Each structure stands twice: as structure tokens, then as C-alpha cells.
Structure 1
Amino acid sequence: MVAATKFFRVDDLLVQIYNSEAEMAQEVAEITQKYLQYVLQQQDTAAVLLATGNSQLKFLDALIALGGIDWSRVILFHLDEYLGITADHPASFRRYMRERVEKRVCPQQFHYIEGDALQPVAECDRYTKLLQAQPIDLCCLGVGENGHLAFNDPAVAHFQDPYAVKLVKLDLANRQQQVNTGHFPNLDSVPQYAFTVTLPSICSAQKILCLAPEKRKAQVVKEMLQGSISSKYPASILRQRSQATLFLDVNSASLLA
């Protein structure tokens, strides 16, 4: 196992820093493998919430390459999806998960948010019931450049959200990030609304592993760890979760005191 070069706590949140994104991804994969093996020794199935985005790519590849997980006993969910795009759209999170995860590991089930559902509010209710049918054993996610978790942007993030899944309007910084990372050709093509699993649902997971590599995340990492715990930087809520670990590389940690 690769060792973190530094580790410390900020409030209840454990933070670990690695020399490179590859080293970070490899260790998160090994932690995930061992944890899911442990969960499946204790119970029949494991429920896992997964994120999309560039921060997850190396981790997912490393996890799948490790093997050693009985995926036929794992039920998968994902955190968010754009409103109004089909499952085969190049930027669809369903497509991302289907190609990068489901086809490669064949889980017992992969529950998808249907972004092009004809009744979006009913789709929120449907997915809420699926999420609440069993405890979430593990949530793997990243941090947006505006501090969002899933699509809980600062303007719509609520630490005591009454909803488990909701429709939100995406802010400009979030939509621009989707262009900058190559998911859409220009800002006008990025949907303005999306489905998201809310912060209380994320925080209810028994274990939370948050990956935030790359230089472009350095400023938001500094704010979420050294600023106040506030919806201004939604990811700061993880500082209240003792079951959460934030994984950084030297680039994303470069502005920390």
C-alpha cells in the first residue's frame, strides 16, 4: 500500500496527502477494496454511491484492476445527472457509469437517475425510495471547483436539506467547469438544471471517501479546510463527519498552511 506523505485532522475530517494523483488513487482503491470485503463479510449486500468526473477516473480503474470484490453482491447508485439529456449523451453520467463501471464489474444492480424522465419530480421520489431502501455503506465522491458535492452548488446546498434527491439550477462556475474539463463543447450546451443527491443523504453513508486531486482544486481545498463550515463551500460539511476522509495530491494541497 502507498503511504500518505502527510495526514492530519481538520475538525472531524481526516485528510491525507500523496505525492501524486496516481498514488492517491491507488491507495483509495485499496481502502475501498478492503472496506467492501469487510462489509460483505458482515452482510449479504453492500450499497455504494459513486461519483463521476475526472477526479474519479484513476481511482475507478485502480479499484476494478485490484479485483477481490464480489460485485454480484454490490448495489450501486450515482450522485447526480443532468436534466433532459439521454442515457447515451456523451456527457451523461449514466453513460459514464455504464461504460466505466457497470459493464466492467457486473454489479447486482446499478440504479440510475433517469435524466430524461418525463416527470422529473416523480423521478426524484422514485430515486429517493431506492436510496432509502437500505443504508448506504460507502460514498465515493469528489469536490467541485466551487466547493460543491454532487450538484449541491453553494446557492442550493442545505446542510439540513429535507429532501434526499432534488432538482437544482446549476451555477455558472459549475457549468463552466463542465466545459473546462471537456464534458461539453461550450457553455450554452451545458444543461442549466440537474438532479442531485443532497448533502444529508451523502453524509448518511457509513464511510465517505472524497478525492480532490489537481492544481485546479487547490483554492477550494484551502477554503473548505481553513474557512468556516458553511454552505458557501458545501464540501466543508465533511469536517463534521468522522467517517469521512479527504484525499489530496501535492498539487491540490499546495495552498494549505
Structure 2
Amino acid sequence: MSTLIAKTAQDISHKPVGQFEETRFEKIHNVIFEDSNVASIQVAQEIADLIRKKQALGQNCVLGLATGSSPIKVYEELVRMHKEEGLSFSNVITFNLDEYLPMEKGNMQSYYYFMHEHLFNHVDIPEENINIPDGSIPQEDVVEYCLSYEKKIKDNGGIDFQLLGIGRTGHIGFNEPGSHYNSGTRIITLDHITRVDAAPAFLGIDNVPRKAITMGIATVRSAKRIVLLGWGNNKAKIIKKTIEGEISSHVPATYLQKHNNVTFVLDKGAGSELTRNKTPWLVGSCEWTEELTSKAIVWLCAKTGKSILRLTDKDYNDNGMSDLLSLEDSYDLNIKMFNKLQHTITGWPGGKPNADDTSRPERAEPAKKRVIIFSPHPDDDVISMGGTFDRLIEQGHDVHVAYQTSGNIAVSDKEALKFAEIANTITPSKESESIIEAILNKDENTFDALEVRTLKGAIRRSESYAATRYLGLDDSHVHFLNLPFYETGTIKKNNLSNADIDIVVDLINEIKPHQIFAAGDLADPHGTHKVCLDAIFEALKRLKEESFMKDCWLWLYRGAWHEWDINEIEMAVPMSPDQVLKKRYAIFCHQSQKDGVMFQGDDSREFWMRAEERNKHTAAKYKALGLADYAAIEAFVRYKMD
């Protein structure tokens, strides 16, 4: 087995999480990194080393390649090595895993387009060495075409290195649940969840093809070396099933357990459900830090169905925590944990004036704080922390909200057309007619025209004002940053640039906040949250020597997709039933995002429903642990800045 990934993981400054060796629960070698970018660079280095080794031997290097968001950074690094280090692809032959059917090569959603945009157009690989399944093959010719694709792989000596991602159904390539262990390249019907995950790129699930051509499980297994990439919390459950579960056609990726040279390269989020990370006390001896102790006690309460103060020595001993009891008895452990969680609860998210703040999550002084709420999209603020937003305004703080992107791609053509037609009815104009014509004549291979994007952005902006005015915030405290990385007109965004960071720096420098609230949800299905958070982190690094930064605290909230684990929460802001309703109505102000959300993931509920049920669920967890009973709770984690 190649040891490059395992070796380099231990040598880098961003230490991987957990252990390197497989535990008794794990059946596939895996390495976990804190940062997916660092992990991607290591994978790209292994590929580059293989290409160079084959070149030295005068041999071709046959690569099996994947698409999707997971390998993008790997391809970026390979392109960088080609341009800056002279890495040549002249001896490389590639075979892509899959392609939608039907799908023309020129379609922006095709994997042919994807691979050329991210890799092939930027390196010196001969065009004849590129092999991507042809999605334009007539139905009657698909079987023969698939057989010829298999034969071409074998004629080139098989795949030397296969790069994989993993879908939430456990598919590799498009080998959906039910795929056979010995399956070859073939046509397949896509699972509904797979189509839901692809929906953002196609601007709606109705536009996602129902079929695809894919390499088979046997084809993938025949590769000499396999590396599977997994990023983010939304992949954690399927990663656990794949690595720790039984081999099953219901989770096709589990077939990789029988491969003798496979490594899963994961980030912290994707590896979070593995037993050695989620419940390491079930694996072996632990170093019982305060963080791990809190995690274990919350888990133990859920396992036993008891509140914190009812846990006994027997509960700890029966569930793998006897070594924790050797350090402290259950009574002391329970009291400390109960007090810790109780102290996270506050009705004063900006700090309670003239109060002892020793055990409170926020400082009492200054009594009136300058606050910036950063919202990646124009509705994340009210969806994720609408109750806290309202409370900060009511309690007299100097609150500002900054919408980092325009959110224009989340407005449907139908919604934009409605506004354009209304505008043209009230005041007929060439501009309105041009927008109407552009929308009506748009096809799947065209970007939104600039004037259409401008209209869609204006719709999101007006909805944001409606929500902030409803909460009582003055318009002068609402900032639309329109970060340039987002303004591509497509789901694919540009990389974060100095121009983006400068905009964030300027706003922070102008307001000089005591508090910043930002979206810490890295499981965002289209990546915008992560780029927006990175922009804030980089801005704060650049400003760290400023005097006001000594008094600036950064609080992270989660978006519509996930909530913080109870043991992670450092500030819990309860909401009354009336505040729950007020938050709901603030979300309702974003009408273009109601009744058919374009990027809703696998959850059919509208954002207000998800947010409300999540907040109620958090409150219910606090109650189950023996704490006060609230209607709902919004949760935050403080990010400690260096």
C-alpha cells in the first residue's frame, strides 16, 4: 500500500485529527486532515510523483478521474505544478468515471466541460489521451459504447491511480445503491438523492438528467491504487458506514473494503462520525480533556436517557468511561457539566449590563456594543440567528448587518420575470423589455445576462431591507458587500481574492466592533459560506494589530443545514414563543426563497421550518439534560482569534 498520504499527514503543520492506524471498527485505511486544502495538495503530490516515476521509466501513467467539488483543489494543485514546477502530462492517459445521459459536451453541466475547465485546458495532456464517457451517444448504441470504454482501459494496461469522491448514497462514480460487485461500465438510473445533490448546478432538480454512463464497481476495483476524497459534515455519516459498516450493495463504496491499496483522505468534518473521533472511549484509553469529557457526558445522557445530574458510576462504567471515573467521581463530573451548560444560557447575547459576568458567555462592558452580523446570503442572518438579532436590537446595541453576497443566483427565472413584467407594466421601458426577453430566451448553456443578475440581486436586496426594517434596524446599518468572488452568474464561484478581503477589512475597520457574528456552517451545499468565513478570518488577521481588535469577540452560528453539538455550544440564546413567531415573519420577508427553494439540499422543508424545528430541537436537548425548558434556542460558538 502506498504510504505517502499517511506519512505526509504526520509531517505537516496542520496536524490530522485522531489516530493514523485503523481501529477495530475500521476496515479501510484513512487519514484525517484539519484542512481539505492541505489534504488536496498531498493527494496531488502523490499523483505528480506517480506521473514522474512513470516518465522516468518511459511508461504512460493511466489516471482514473472524478468530478464534483471534492477533487477541484487537487486539480488546481496539479495545474500549479505544471505551470510552476514543469510537471508534464505528456505521458498521461485519463479515464473519467462518468457522464450524464443525455448530455452534450458543450453543456456547462457536462463533465467534459468540467474536466477541461478545471484541468485539461491548463496542462499539456494530448487531446487523444483524454477519455470521458460520451453523453451524446444514442440510446441504442450505449451498450456497445460502454464495452468499448472498458476495452480501452484494459488495452492501456488498466488504471494506475483512481481518484474518487463519494455521494451521500454511498455511490462511487454513479454506481448507485444496488450496483453489483462485478459491474462494468454501463448506463444507470440516478438515485433521487444524487439528483437532489446535483440540483444546484442545474438550477433545479427538474433539470438534472435521470440517467448516466458510469464505470462499474469492478472497473474501479481493478485500479492499482485508489484514493477517495471526503470533505464536510454532510459526508460524515456515509463515510462511517463505508469504513465501519458491512459490505453491502446498499452502500456501494463498502466494496472498497476488499481493495488492498485504498486510502480515504478526509477532513475533520467528514471523519467526525468515525468511532475513534465521535466516541473514542469505546476504542481505547483517552486523554480526558475538558472538551472530550463534555462530549462524553452529553453522549452518555443520550445513551441512557438520563439527565446529567442522574448519571451514576454504573452508567459511566457500563459505557467505556471507567478511566474517567478514576480521575473524578460521577457526582463531581455531573455538577461541573451541569454548571457548564447552565452558564451558556443567556437572554443577553450582547452581555448583561451591571451584572457579574464571571460565568456569563459575554462581557457586561461596554453595556452598548458595536456589533456586525455577517450574513453570507441575504437571508442567513434571520434564518440562523433571527431571535438573537432581534434581541441585540431590543437591548440597545449598535447593530450592523453585512450581506456578503448578492444571492442573485438563488432567484428563479420565474420570480425575476414576475418583477420585470410588473416594472414594465408600471413604467414601460427598453430595459424591462430587454430583461424579459433575456429570461424568456435563456437556454441551459447560457449565463444570466448582467441586467438579469442585477434585477435578481435587487430582489434579494429589497427583501433584506424588508426583514431588517421589520426587526427595527435602521437602513443606514445595512451593508451590501457584493463580494466579487460570487458574481460569476453561475453556481461555480471564483476563488477568494484580495478584493473580497479588502471589502471586509474596510467594513470592520469602519465600525470597530466589539462583537462579530459569522456563519460557521462549512457544510453549506454550494460552498459560499466557507469562502465568506475565510474572508472574515483573513480580514481579522490583517487587522489584529489594531487597538480595537483587543476587545473584539467572534461568535459563529450555523446555517440552515446543521447545528452545533450541545457540548460545543458556548452561548445559548433562548427564545419565547412570541420571538419564535417574530423570527418566522422576518424569514417570510424573503419571499423569493419561499415556496420552492432552489438550493434546499435533501430537505424538502422551507428554511423557516428547518430553522424553527432546529431551534426547538436544541431547546429540547437542553431540557432533556436537566436544564430549563424553553420554546427554542439559538446556539453559538466563540472562535478564539490568535
- TM-score w.r.t. length of structure 1: 0.93
Whether 1:16 aligns to 2:21 is: no
Whether 1:39 aligns to 2:57 is: no
* Residue of structure 2 aligned with 1:170, choices 186, 190, 208: 190
| Structure 1 partner of 2:144 | 122
**What displacement does 1:26 show?**
1.2
| Structure 1 partner of 2:131 | 111
| Structure 1 partner of 2:20 | 7
Q: Distance in 2 between matches of 1:126 and 1:204?
A: 17
* Residue of structure 1 aligned with 2:175, choices 137, 140, 152: 152
* Structure 2: gaps of 5 or more residues: 1-7, 276-642
**What displacement does 1:66 show?**
2.3
Q: Distance in 1 between matches of 2:89 and 2:247?
A: 36
Question: What is the letter of the counterpart of residue 47 of structure 1?
Answer: V
| Structure 2 partner of 1:203 | 221
Whether 1:137 aligns to 2:150 is: no
Question: What is the letter of the counterpart of residue 70 of structure 2?
Answer: S
Q: Distance in 1 between matches of 2:107 and 2:123?
A: 22
What do the CA deviations read for 1:94-123 (whole angstroms, capped 9, x no partner)? 110122111111313101211011222232
* Residue of structure 2 aligned with 1:71, choices 81, 89, 99: 89
| Structure 1 partner of 2:105 | 87
Whether 1:54 aligns to 2:56 is: no
Q: Distance in 2 between matches of 1:136 and 1:125?
A: 16
Say if 2:65 and 2:163, in contact at 8 Å, map to a contact too. Answer: yes
Question: What is the letter of the counterpart of residue 195 of structure 1?
Answer: I
Q: Distance in 2 between matches of 1:245 and 1:69?
A: 24
Which one has a larger percent strand, Structure 1 or Structure 2?
1
Q: Distance in 1 between matches of 2:190 and 2:227?
A: 24
**Structure 1: 4+ residue segments shifted above 4 A:** none
Say if 1:14 and 1:242, in contact at 8 Å, map to a contact too. Answer: no
Q: Distance in 1 between matches of 2:256 and 2:144?
A: 29
What do the CA deviations read for 1:107-143 (whole angstroms, capped 9, x no partner)? 1310121101122223212312211212211111111
Say if 1:76 and 1:107, in contact at 8 Å, map to a contact too. Answer: no
**What displacement does 1:43 show?**
4.2
**What displacement does 1:70 show?**
2.4
Say if 1:184 and 1:190, in contact at 8 Å, map to a contact too. Answer: yes
Question: What is the letter of the counterpart of residue 126 of structure 1?
Answer: S
Higher relative contact order (CA 8 A, sep 6+): 1
What do the CA deviations read for 1:160-202 (whole angstroms, capped 9, x no partner)? 22xx3100011111111111xx321111111111000001111
| Structure 2 partner of 1:194 | 212
* Deviates further, 71-80 or 102-111: 102-111
Whether 1:29 aligns to 2:44 is: yes
Asked which structure has the greater CA Rg, the reply is: 2
- TM-score w.r.t. length of structure 2: 0.38
SS at match of 1:29: helix
SS at match of 2:62: strand
Q: Distance in 2 between matches of 1:209 and 1:2?
A: 14
| Structure 2 partner of 1:253 | 271
Say if 1:2 and 1:26, in contact at 8 Å, map to a contact too. Answer: no
SS at match of 2:29: strand
Say if 1:50 and 1:79, in contact at 8 Å, map to a contact too. Answer: yes
What do the CA deviations read for 1:10-66 (whole angstroms, capped 9, x no partner)? 33x320000011111111111221122223333421111100000011111112212
Q: Distance in 2 between matches of 1:78 and 1:17?
A: 26
Q: Distance in 2 between matches of 1:175 and 1:215?
A: 19
Q: Distance in 2 between matches of 1:212 and 1:90?
A: 24
Q: Distance in 2 between matches of 1:74 and 1:216?
A: 33
**What displacement does 1:226 show?**
1.6
**What displacement does 1:2 show?**
5.2
Question: What is the letter of the counterpart of residue 7 of structure 1?
Answer: F
SS at match of 1:195: strand
Say if 2:88 and 2:124, in contact at 8 Å, map to a contact too. Answer: no
* Structure 1: gaps of 5 or more residues: none
* Deviates further, 224-233 or 118-127: 118-127
SS at match of 2:63: strand
Change (3 A) 1:8 1:43: farther
**What displacement does 1:147 show?**
0.4
**Residues matched between the structures, number:** 251
Q: Distance in 2 between matches of 1:150 and 1:218?
A: 18
Q: Distance in 1 between matches of 2:30 and 2:172?
A: 17
Which one has a larger percent helix, Structure 1 or Structure 2?
2
Q: Distance in 1 between matches of 2:67 and 2:154?
A: 21
Q: Distance in 1 between matches of 2:182 and 2:95?
A: 22
Say if 1:175 and 1:190, in contact at 8 Å, map to a contact too. Answer: yes
Say if 1:90 and 1:183, in contact at 8 Å, map to a contact too. Answer: no
SS at match of 1:210: strand
